[in-house]
Structure 1
Amino acid sequence: MSIHVSAFRWVPPFAQGYVRDLRVRWALEEAGIPYEATLIDPKVQKSDDYRNWQPFGQVPAYRDGDVEIFESGAIVLHIAWKSEALAPRDEAGRARVTTWVIAALNSIEPQVQNLVQLDVFHAGEAWTVERRPQAEAALNKRLSALSTWLGGRDYLEDRFTAGDLMMTTVLRELVDSGILERFPNLDAYRRRCEARPAFARALEAQLRPFRENEPKDLVTPA
């Protein structure tokens, strides 16, 4: 059975290129593993069939005939264990990859999302004026620690792994805020990872259905 990955048929422009099936698509592209995207819409998202696959109605969900899982971090790690392109074969190396995947999801992403929530989903609301400096300070603390670890390295360890893949998808959400520019080595690291051909293929694969299924009555801001 071929690999199937769930993804949205269409999302608003601000979310395009950032939906988390991108992480799984990128991992599969790095590993050279073919897959099919199962595109869903809000109706499918709420259905019992889909909730049996992904209990929270989110994307991505993954199945390959033997395994059926959800959550992007779990899926990326599952793919990484199949391919040396994403993780070394030795136990110690795999443990480091797991560590960095979890660090991206637990230590960095929550602080990033706190800021994204303020700037995107609650933009203009009065309460965000007092909350934003606190969220930004917490984020800067985590980014500073990550920047110190990375130093002059090209990657988090001695080569590109699934940990870099996951960390990059988290960091790129900060580009529009300008915060990443305060940490030149992190911004260069993000650019370096995004320059990989597998990332370009994964991004295009996500964006293509959005272009094909764009609502006819969508109003584009001037």
Structure 2
Amino acid sequence: MSKPTITAFDWVPPFAQGQVRDLRVRWALEEVGQAYDVRYLPQGGQKQAPHRARQPFGQVPTYEDGDLTLFESGAIVLHIADRFGALLPTDVGGRARAIEWMFAALNTIEPPIMDHAIATLFEAGKPWSKPRLPAVEARIDERLGELSRRLGDRRWLDGDTFTAGDLLMVAVLRIVEGEGMVEKYDNLTAYRDRGTARPAFQRALADQMAGFTGAPPPELAKWLERQGEVA
């Protein structure tokens, strides 16, 4: 069996290291015990024609396995779970609920969290960012409160079995790790920490971090130096 190939960046700013979405795919592959290759892209390479043929929106990750090419990390994780017979329960109801939680992680919990990242990182200097931050944080807290109540004292979202739904939910909760949002809820904090303590996650994170061997484009390097992001 040939190894699948994923794409990843060879450099991102320090605040994004450990967060780029190829980590989710790496984690899934580690969970199912599948070796993989990585095609590393320099910043800007994701917008060039060869990569756009794989990913029309010029993003990472992508996944290639034989004649199959996929984009979107959630779709890739679902395919890996199907392809390698893990991360999804075998009974119809359990499988459906795991997929339900995959969608909940990406469609319900992640959007307000990414709004927070936009307001505090990507558009932090814009005049509209600071005024809208309280509303963004209120939406996050509402969703996390609802998630906390549903999780209750369960080990994982649907009981005692870790699924692809948990993988994506933990990945999303990590985005605001240390911001005090998840930490407000003891059960969510413990849930997130159980996920990131899994050996498969630790291997995936180490591999992603080890791949950041490139350098920023010159114009970006100058800006980052002014921001104190690079030495």
Q: CA deviation at 1:90?
A: 2.2
Task: Give the Cα separation in 2 of the matches to 1:125 and 1:55.
Answer: 28
- Please show how residues 33-112 of structure 1 align to structure 2 within 5 Å: 33-112=34-113
Q: CA deviation at 1:84?
A: 4.1
- Matched residue, 2:152: 151
Q: Which runs of 5+ in 1 are unaligned?
A: none
Q: Which runs of 5+ in 2 are unaligned?
A: none
Q: CA deviation at 1:6?
A: 0.5
CA offset digits 1:149-188 (Å, max 9, x no partner): 0001110012100100000110011113221111111111
- Secondary structure of the residue aligned to 1:156 is coil
- Please show how residues 1-222 of structure 1 align to structure 2 within 5 Å: 1-158=2-159, 159-210=161-212, 212-214=213-215, 219=225
Native 8 Å contact 2:42 2:214 kept in 1: no
CA offset digits 1:98-131 (Å, max 9, x no partner): 1111100000000111111111122254423321
- Secondary structure of the residue aligned to 2:40 is strand
Q: Provide the alpha-carbon RMSD of the alignment.
A: 1.8
Task: Give the Cα separation in 1 of the matches to 2:125 and 2:75.
Answer: 35
Aligned residues: 221
- Secondary structure of the residue aligned to 2:173 is helix
So what's the TM-score if we normalise by structure 1?
0.93
Task: Give the Cα separation in 2 of the matches to 1:113 and 1:106.
Answer: 11
Instruction: Give the AA of the match of 2:131.
Output: E
Q: Evaluate the alpha carbon distance shift between residue 140 and residue 43 of structure 1 in structure 2; reply closer, same or farther with a 3 A threshold.
A: closer
- Secondary structure of the residue aligned to 2:39 is strand
Task: Give the Cα separation in 1 of the matches to 2:207 and 2:67.
Answer: 24
Task: Give the Cα separation in 2 of the matches to 1:179 and 1:139.
Answer: 8
Tell me the percent identity: 51
